[in-house]
Structure 1
């Protein structure tokens, strides 16, 4: 009887050890993601992570000023002008080659060699729909392209921020979102539904990929020159909350990034600044002095919320 009890005790202890190992492995796997602790991003090893990054602009959301064009400043207008000159077949082929060659693995390797530890990848929502965009109408084209760059970054030890630069309906109302001159996203339930569904698909696809640092939900929403910008600003936080909830249904690992209104500069629009436990904010600034005073209002918001502030 005593021998039987000893054997049973050994089996129970062995089971406890095995369960403990599995639990630790599970925790370790989850800790492979960059996390948020107060105002800092933290590595899986528990060290503060300071982002030193660069954007892969113009690749998956072409913009006129990056081509040095004068009269066409968004993808839609660039595409139309090119097709009027040489026809749609040639232009569609051009865009496909452009996507394949504008950013390569050698570029990612070079970025890492310069000391960068992260990249931000601006993309157009149409890469995840059947809508015609850059010579394709494949709703999985975005994954084909992003999978490649994420794999290259993984090999080089570089983190990736995915940035929806052009959202359904347009979030800015200017050339950068390839819109029709107004941020219709905030007045269109259909566009908002598509916006949330695309982010949910993206989050589900990359839920277990630690190379992805986070999701930059909207680039520079609501330009400053609209007379009703204050009204539009009221729609921003509820939409962020809605899309964050959609993402959390499939992905609890990644950081969500909320940008301020008016070119990512106005953070007074947020009434629930700690809506999620894995979130940070993103600011932008242009043509300013490289002094702390120039960004003090961003730092003040960081102090107020005790959350990271990312200048993307």
Structure 2
């Protein structure tokens, strides 16, 4: 059969901020978007706010050092206003809108769970937190956090002033659209989709011998042109354009459900709001199957369609393999309602997972592919400190033997659906990158279905297929 040399069109129909950071330039308070994790220390007491028990109890101010229970995830209501989600997923609330004890009991946020975070102009990490009734949260003692400070607290050493530490943030499509708001987001996303990938990119890829593109989409595409807030319409038209361009340049398309409802891995590319993994509820899995049904019904008879990937990078152990197999089996049957020949692509779990865990369920199924992702990144214990040659040897050795065992196991076809020429090596030469890229091309070229570089365009050159090829770092 044909093996496919593919390129991912990442960051296009599912936004990832690290791929194109400039998209977020006009977001107000862009360091406090949905999913930003913060810790708060009372300047008066010198101790941290904590959700006792991880949630379901009061908020205290008695921790000398912060960890999970002392970390809160933001849900942005509008500029400056937020819900704060605690470790066990409840929300911080000022009862009756303020005036009394602050707790974390509510499982769904409403008015009492809404706060303003007011930042000091000269020191943005020094904050006041205002409750609905206009009073401020204050740390009266280590065991008593209340929303009853009246008047202007000022920025000195007082009970209503806190030092805010930003632990980490997310920059995905949810963060961008909710951060921009409904008046500005449609234009920003429309401009991005129309300019980031165009037919000229398909011309370039075809000239370089690429015969397939893997296109990440978000679950909201099935509701286009009026997806649920805060997402905005337009991605479906862009995908339709891609199918037209693909036919013009003899390129096939794999559509991959990258961002699933509830998030399957907590990462920004999964459409996560706050980093929690909640995809594996029955409702979210059924919503995902509805998206697969929509994509299959729309594109099954399009000659450019090569396959549909049911889910990208579900995370182990958060997503149980038995639930994943059930979803994949149902997804396979959904696609088969519309096409007997479209490939059904099933992505292996990332994290601690058996590389053959999907093989048995594929027995008796036709035109199925298992997608594996190979990066010499993201695992400090394995790759941190590796030399150039050790990275190359790892590709030829460990990766080569693993891939051979998968290909020769008489199971489904194997697709290295994501790989890149970036690594942990610092100060590598052009020759080093060429050798590393060549090793991966040789090894992944033995995959029975083919490979796909991540990604076509990226502000970070070594992640960009276009940049790597044009500058002779990647020699096809």
**Which residue of 2 is the match for residue 33 of structure 1?**
none
Q: Secondary structure at the match of 2:346?
A: strand
Q: Residue 200 of structure 1: CA displacement?
A: 1.1
Q: Of residues 319, 326, 335 in structure 2, which corresponds to 1:238?
A: 326
CA distance in 2, matches of 1:181, 1:233: 20
Q: Residue 265 of structure 1: CA displacement?
A: 6.5
The alignment's TM-score, normalised by the length of structure 2, stands at 0.49
Q: Secondary structure at the match of 2:402?
A: helix
Cα-to-partner distance string for 1:270-294 (whole Å, 9 max, x where unaligned): 2323252111111101115332532
Coordinate RMSD, CA, aligned: 2.3
**Which residue of 1 is the match for residue 474 of structure 2?**
none
**Which residue of 2 is the match for residue 54 of structure 1?**
7
Count residues with an aligned counterpart.
251
Q: Residues 74 and 263 of structure 1: is their aligned pair in 2 closer, same or farther, counting only changes over 3 Å? A: farther
**Which residue of 1 is the match for residue 285 of structure 2?**
192
Q: Secondary structure at the match of 1:205?
A: helix
CA distance in 2, matches of 1:263, 1:165: 17
CA distance in 2, matches of 1:163, 1:249: 18
1:303 maps onto 2:408 in alignment? yes
CA distance in 2, matches of 1:242, 1:306: 19
Cα-to-partner distance string for 1:239-296 (whole Å, 9 max, x where unaligned): 1001111221222220101111116964343232325211111110111533253242
CA distance in 1, matches of 2:240, 2:351: 28
Contact 1:54 1:120 survives alignment (8 Å): yes
Q: Secondary structure at the match of 2:7?
A: strand
Q: Of residues 225, 228, 242 in structure 2, which corresponds to 1:131?
A: 228
Q: Residues 292 and 119 of structure 1: is their aligned pair in 2 closer, same or farther, counting only changes over 3 Å? A: farther
- Out of 198-207 and 263-272, give the one that drifted further: 263-272
Q: Residue 135 of structure 1: CA displacement?
A: 3.0
**Which residue of 1 is the match for residue 305 of structure 2?**
212
CA distance in 2, matches of 1:64, 1:276: 37
Contact 2:178 2:231 survives alignment (8 Å): no
Q: Of residues 194, 204, 208 in structure 2, which corresponds to 1:100?
A: 194
Q: Secondary structure at the match of 1:165?
A: strand
**Which residue of 1 is the match for residue 267 of structure 2?**
174
1:294 maps onto 2:392 in alignment? no
**Which residue of 1 is the match for residue 172 of structure 2?**
74
Q: Residues 297 and 265 of structure 1: is their aligned pair in 2 closer, same or farther, counting only changes over 3 Å? A: farther
Q: Which runs of 5+ in 1 are unaligned?
A: 1-41, 43-48
Cα-to-partner distance string for 1:24-45 (whole Å, 9 max, x where unaligned): xxxxxxxxxxxxxxxxxx2xxx
Q: Of residues 252, 262, 265 in structure 2, which corresponds to 1:159?
A: 252
**Runs of 4 or more off by more than 6 Å in structure 1?**
none
1:249 maps onto 2:202 in alignment? no
CA distance in 1, matches of 2:364, 2:346: 11
Q: Residues 207 and 91 of structure 1: is their aligned pair in 2 closer, same or farther, counting only changes over 3 Å? A: closer
Contact 1:150 1:160 survives alignment (8 Å): yes
Contact 1:95 1:134 survives alignment (8 Å): no
Q: Which runs of 5+ in 2 are unaligned?
A: 25-167, 377-390, 418-476
Q: Secondary structure at the match of 2:408?
A: helix
Q: Residue 298 of structure 1: CA displacement?
A: 3.1
Cα-to-partner distance string for 1:85-139 (whole Å, 9 max, x where unaligned): xx54233211112112211111111111122111110111111123135532xxx
Cα-to-partner distance string for 1:142-162 (whole Å, 9 max, x where unaligned): 442222111101110111111
- Out of 212-221 and 170-179, give the one that drifted further: 170-179
The alignment's TM-score, normalised by the length of structure 1, stands at 0.74
- Out of 213-222 and 90-99, give the one that drifted further: 90-99
Q: Residues 124 and 101 of structure 1: is their aligned pair in 2 closer, same or farther, counting only changes over 3 Å? A: same
